[in-house]
Amino acid sequence: MNWMSFVAVAGTTLLGAGFVVTMYSLGVRFTAVSGDDDGRVNHAARWGSYICFGFCVLAVVMAIVLIVPFLSDNFFELLNHLF
């Protein structure tokens, strides 16, 4: 067994999971803060929540693309044509 590959996968999994949880938590917090001011909407907090949720969705979609071989092959082929 290649232990360095195992450590790399384990570390990437922990960092990815931590990133998704952090972005989701910040998105929920910004959503809660955006409506706290006496019925007024805090637009910076609202946009912050959209950005955090967007990063969360992007991370999940990229993980699915990297896991599924059919999607992964097509994605990297598309990147080669673009760049």
Task: State the pTM of this model.
Answer: 0.80
pLDDT in tens, the chain (83 residues): 899 999 999 999 999 999 999 999 999 999 998 877 666 778 899 999 999 999 999 999 999 998 898 888 888 888 888 88
| C-alpha dist (Å) from residue 27 to 2, 13, 40, 63, 68 | 38, 21, 18, 20, 27
Query: Tokens standing for 20?
Result: 């998704």
